Structure 1
Amino acid sequence: MGLMDTLKSRADELKEKASELAGKHNETIDHMVEKAGEAVDKATKHRYTDKIEHGTAKTKEVVDSFAAKPRDESSAEEDRPPAG
């Protein structure tokens, strides 16, 4: 197994672990994103409220989709390079 294969394997493991943790702590992450948005909105004196709300909503969607993806063995097989 070459260096790149090792790194890719480790990256896949870390991505899976991050997805698992995001799923377990989804509510906390959403809450912290909301608090960060409020802090930024206050710091900018509410000049960019619409953009900040849009950004926090998109961030929550991305976290939700990342956390919701179960590990699919068939797609994992497609991602692996052919042996040989």
Structure 2
Amino acid sequence: MPETPCVKCFGTLGVGSRMKIFEYLRNTGKSTVGEIVEFVNLTQPTISYHLKEMKMAGLLESDKSGKEVFYSIRRKCPSRNGDCVLNKVKLS
């Protein structure tokens, strides 16, 4: 059976580092990879990998401004035209 987008989102957040990244972005609104590296205390390649996985799951969006890429939480659910359930759930 194919995986639904909600299952993919929750599964993606099953990794502790990704949960920390998600909570950090929820609190800051948007951040660069460098800012996230400082907060989560992992290497830049590791953070970039987690951000890529989270973006592919539909959790994040990115916006390039000059040389910087800013990541933020996607407010709309990737599977339906409405708010994402994760916007309403207290995760920590």
Larger Rg: 1
- Select the structure that is richer in strand: 2
Structure whose residues are more often helix by fraction? 1
When normalised by structure 1's length, the TM-score is 0.30
Q: TM-score, normalised by structure 2?
A: 0.29
